[in-house]
Structure 1
Amino acid sequence: MPQRTDVVIVGGGQSGLAAGYHLRRLGVEFVILDAQAGPGGAWQHTWDSLRLFSPAQYSSLPGRLMPVQPGQTYPDARHVVDYLADYEKRYDFPVHRGARVDGVHHDGTHLRVEADTGAWRARAVISATGTWTRPFLPAAHGRREFQGRQLHTVRYKSPEEFAGQRVIVVGGGNSGAQIAADLAHAGIDLTWVTQRPPRYLADDIDGRALFDAATARRRALEEGRTDTGGVASLGDIVAVPPVREARDTGLLTARPMFTRLTRTGVEWADGTRAEADAIVWCTGFRPALSHLAPLGLRGPRGHIPTAGTQALREPRVHLLGYGDWTGPASATLIGVGRPARDAARAIAELLGLR
């Protein structure tokens, strides 16, 4: 028989914890099912040099400020993992580790959540699985022909594994710029390739300004005013110190996208080539939502339509932390608090607790 609770949160990273905080404040019973072996969500698996875009005090979940990391203005990923582990422990959240959710199903007046550790019957579900487990690789002519190593952002750890090699980094977003800078500073023979010329945000812009821009866009849209463009209007790359230093010293210069891969590298339309031992694809992610497939929530283009965080085709399901379509800056530490609060309030009202 399935175990019972009011709400199942699928995913125990920053979004799941923020949702748990607000549900707890509203007196809603819940469990968090997390596939990871330990706390910290995707932050456990990032590359070694990754740092936040914002100081600690502007990178906090609701209810508890992130402590400052000694000697660092922008905390590293290990500090974030420690913060999330402490946050989870402080509020004594009911987190079930190693629980991979296979599917969410209609079950009469409830939803049945099937996990490899057992089933749960709930009145509502919050999906907070993020995107890290769904890396996106674009179609590229000749990919199977290339004889070197190919890896996505999720498999990159440090420059040391590429010592003495020629590396091509593909991608003009933050991950591409940061990994390219990481390799360049280590003296790796680097070629950085982007679809369009890199668009850097102003050097004084960090996560605080990005959150403000996302919030201003949300308010404009809600009030029927002209779309401000949000974060996308400012640029694609936050010029964190390592990226800024590599750019300003000439270590970080982008080339346009190549037309195909060869056995030993890549080739551009004019016939010029670059040899490579490895290619790092920093080409983004897609939402990890396969567990919701049994509910049939996707629209004609494969997107799940939502009103805020609430799935339009199943109002008992909320999606949290996947990007602006589930709340402004909701995929960030500072940004997930507001949509998490809204989702918790909607669920409490559904349950008759408000």
Structure 2
Amino acid sequence: MSRARHPVRFARQRTLGRDLHWWLTRTGLDLLPVGRFLRTPPAQLVIDDGRYRAAVTAGAPDRRPVFTGVDGAKVTWADGGREVVDAILLATGYRPDLGYLAPLGALDARGHPRHREGISLTHSALAYVGLEWQRSLSSNSLRGVGRDAARIARRLAAHLASS
């Protein structure tokens, strides 16, 4: 089962005989710290060798609104129906729900964290990792989150040392 905010956009896995990740690394685009310049970051693409596009086109997985509850292996749908499922995967298209930070003034009008490259602009000891375009194209991926986390950890350690 899947749920999407907007139609999935695909990028080809291989270009000119090489994997897209190879090109992003080789050209430096994966590291380019452009996140701070983006007021409205572009939608992330699903990098695909053709299998994902074919599955979505064929209606697999079936698309439904998100479930309202889980009890063991059963999910409850908005209409009250229940269904046994093998697995629940919450990954593609994930956006953080940081509404609990709103009373602190840590979010902008769109509900996005007020930050510069992951360091909060409102609270000196608050930082984020894994946000889309936090620093670069790869900030919310396994390729980039570790790099951003190491950078954040160094900055927070320096902040604590100076306190």
* TM-score tier after normalising by the smaller chain length: 0.5 to 0.7
Q: 1:279 to 1:252 in 2, by over 3 A?
A: closer
Which residues of structure 2 form unaligned runs of 5+? Answer: 67-91
Residues 7-156 of structure 1: matches in 2 within 5 Å?
152-153=2-3
Q: Does 1:215 align with 2:34?
A: no
Distance 1:285 1:318 in 2: 19
Q: Does 1:351 align with 2:160?
A: yes
Cα offset for 1:152?
3.5
1:336 corresponds, among 142, 145, 152, to 145
2:95 corresponds, among 277, 286, 296, to 286
Q: Secondary structure at the match of 1:200?
A: strand
Cα offset for 1:289?
1.5
Q: Does 1:321 align with 2:157?
A: no
Q: Secondary structure at the match of 1:325?
A: coil
Task: Give the TM-score taking structure 2 as reference length.
Answer: 0.56
Residue type at the aligned position of 2:95: R
Q: 1:287 to 1:221 in 2, by over 3 A?
A: closer
Q: 1:242 to 1:338 in 2, by over 3 A?
A: same
Distance 1:286 1:236 in 2: 14
Q: Does 1:203 align with 2:19?
A: no
Instruction: Give the root-mean-square deviation of aligned CA atoms.
Output: 4.0
Q: 1:327 to 1:344 in 2, by over 3 A?
A: farther
Cα offset for 1:208?
4.0
Distance 1:221 1:322 in 2: 10
Q: Deviations over 1:185-243 (max 9, x none)?
A: xxxxxxxxxxxxxx533634333434542323x2x688x9xx9xx996xx834223524
Q: Larger Cα Rg: Structure 1 or Structure 2?
A: 1
Identity of matched residues, %: 24
Cα offset for 1:288?
2.4
Which residues of structure 1 form unaligned runs of 5+? Answer: 1-150, 155-169, 174-198, 255-277
Tell me the equivalent position of 1:171: 7
Q: 1:327 to 1:315 in 2, by over 3 A?
A: farther
Q: Is the 8 A contact 2:134 2:140 kept in 1?
A: no
Distance 1:330 1:302 in 2: 19
Cα offset for 1:301?
3.1
Distance 2:154 2:11 in 1: 37
Cα offset for 1:331?
1.6
Q: 1:221 to 1:307 in 2, by over 3 A?
A: closer
